Amino acid sequence: MLAALKWVSGYALTIIISVPVNGLLISATWGWFVVPATGARQIGIAQGVGLAIFISIVGIIATAHQIKYDFGDEKDPARVAARGLGKVIGGGILGPLATLAIAWAWHTFVMGPISN
The string of DSSP letters for 3-47 reads HHHHHHHHHHHHHHHHHHHHHHHHHHHIIIIIHHHH-PPP--HHH
Angle of CA points 10, 96, 5, to nearest 5°: 10
pLDDT of residue 92: 81
Alpha-carbon distances, residue 85 vs 30, 43, 98, 112 (angstroms) = 29, 31, 18, 38
pLDDT of residue 63: 72
CA 67 to chain centre: 17
Amino acid at 116: N
- pLDDT tens figures, 22-66: 999 999 999 999 999 999 999 999 999 999 889 888 877 777 665
pLDDT of residue 19: 87
- pLDDT tens figures, 59-114: 777 776 655 555 566 677 777 777 777 877 888 888 888 999 999 999 999 887 76
pTM: 0.73
Q: How far is the C-alpha of 5 from the C-alpha of 35, rounded, in Å?
A: 43
CA 23 to chain centre: 9
Q: Within a 10 A sphere around the Cβ of 93, how many other Cβ atoms? A: 16
pLDDT of residue 48: 94
pLDDT of residue 87: 77
